[in-house]
Amino acid sequence: MNSSPSPCHSGVLRGLASGLGISAIGTARIEPVEDAVVDSYRRWIGIGHHGDMSYLDRYHDIRHNPELLLPGARTIIVAAFNYYPSRIQRADAPQFAYYAYGRDYHEVVRDRLRRLSAEIESRWGGESRVCVDTAPLFERYWAVKAGIGIIGLNSQLIIPGKGSYFFLGEILTTLTFDHDSPIGGDCGRCGRCISRCPAGAISSDGSVNASKCLSYLTIEYRGDLPEGSNLGNHVYGCDECQKACPHNRNAKPTDIDEFTPSDEFLQLDIETLRNLDRDRFNALFRHSAVKRAKLEGLLRNARSLSSADDFVTL
Ligand code: SF4
Ligand code: SF4
């Protein structure tokens, strides 16, 4: 066992990752998050753009210093998993965000990263911790640090040549790898995501007012929708700012089977969704990210949509 692997180990890491369906992987040195990023996040919270997601206003000490998640952690490994679907819903169906088409990414990404983490520990030792939305991490910040991509004006992580339909997961490790460098540059700032956003949630400085975003309203927000909310045809999440982005023009369908939607899912129509009962909801979404909205939230959304004939085609 060697707690200070030589630089060549990052190449080995990429080899290990390719067998796990990982589309991009990189490593960054763990150190406190840059002050400018911390300040910007504090301002965003301060003006209430996180809506009711109070968990985003907790654990700031950990968010600003991931070493608190794993004492002695030296490296954060960031991995990206493609979820762009090969088949999509009909345009006249209530739309689910692509990321929710298949099996819950928390399960799929966690299982694969645990396998990678076990491989790393057996080869080089050290201690590690897998995070898949399970810890307060600025994951896109770390993905940039690890040289995987850039952050677009729509706040999504964009992988050059591949687009933004990717889940991110992280492994913190006490091992020291050779670290990757940020790619640099910006997304091109074409502004299409801003014009396309049905909620007017994206600012020209690249900040997103989550409290207006349809992803937040349809998934995270509990209770009656705020007065004047217009979900269009979005029943769970929203991909409009990604669909508008030219970086996604050449997105390739995922080859991760678990993210492939079932026929039953693709056939869901507005009447079926409006009349879901708990048994059907559980059968359909037990292993799906959609369960986060709960039956009550999905029914609320489905019943807020106008009839399919009136759906806004965006
Ligand atoms: S997810 Fe939809 S509502 Fe949210 S910022 Fe993107 S386009 Fe706007
Ligand atoms: S749509 Fe244009 S401005 Fe928005 S993230 Fe993509 S490239 Fe950047």
Residue 24 contacts residue 149 (beta carbons within 8 Å):
yes
Q: Residue 84 above 80 pLDDT?
A: yes
* Confidence at residue 11, expressed as pLDDT on a 0 to 100 scale: 84
In this model, does residue 218 exceed pLDDT 50? yes
The mean pLDDT value for 150-166 works out to 98
**Nearest 5 degrees, angle CA 150-CA 177-CA 170?**
50
Query: Which pLDDT belongs to residue 9?
Result: 75
Alpha carbon of 238 to ligand 1 centroid (Å): 6
Give yes or no for residue 2 having a pLDDT over 50: no
Q: Tell me phi and psi for residue 203, to 5 degrees.
A: -95, 160
Share of the chain above pLDDT 90, in %: 91
Question: What is the pLDDT, as a whole number, of residue 306?
Answer: 75
Measured CA to CA, the distance from residue 292 to residue 100 in angstroms comes to 10
Average pLDDT over residues 200-219: 96
Angle subtended at Cα 56 by Cα 50 and Cα 59, rounded to the nearest 5 degrees: 155
Q: Whose CA is nearest to atom 2 of ligand 1?
A: 238
Rounded to 5 degrees, φ, ψ at 163 are 100, -155
In whole angstroms, what is the distance from residue 11 CA to residue 26 CA? Answer: 10
Q: Which protein residue's CA is at the shortest distance from atom 2 of ligand 2?
A: 190
Residue 188 Cα: closest atom of ligand 2: 7
Q: How far is the CA of 190 from the centre of ligand 2 (A)?
A: 5
**The whole model's pTM is what?**
0.94
Q: Is the CB of 219 under 6 A from ligand 1?
A: no
Nearest CA residue ID for atom 4, ligand 2: 193
Specify whether the CB–CB gap between 245 and 163 falls below 8 A: yes
Which one of 53, 197, 236 would you pick to mutate in the ligand 1 pocket, going by the greatest count of ligand atoms within 8 A of its CB? 197
Residue nearest to atom 6 of ligand 2 (CA): 245
Which pLDDT tens digit goes with each residue over 29-83?
999 999 999 999 999 999 999 999 999 999 999 999 999 999 999 999 999 999 9
Assess whether the C-beta atom of 215 lies below 6 angstroms from ligand 1: yes
| CB of 189 sitting under 6 A from ligand 2 | yes
- CA distance between the termini of the chain: 55
- Over range 92-103, report the average pLDDT: 97
Residue 308: pLDDT band with limits 50, 70, 90: low
Beta strands in the chain (DSSP E): 24-29, 75-82, 95-96, 128-131, 150-151, 157-158, 166-173, 234-236
- Alpha carbon distance 100, 88 (integer Å): 11
Q: Does the Cβ of 192 fall within 6 Å of ligand 2?
A: yes
pLDDT at 309: 61
Positions annotated as catalytic residues are: 133
C-alpha radius of gyration, the chain, whole number: 20
Residue 81 C-alpha to ligand 1 middle, in angstroms?
21
Element (H, E) at 294: helix 294-304
Residues, the chain, total?
314
CA–CA separation, 132 and 178 (whole Å): 23
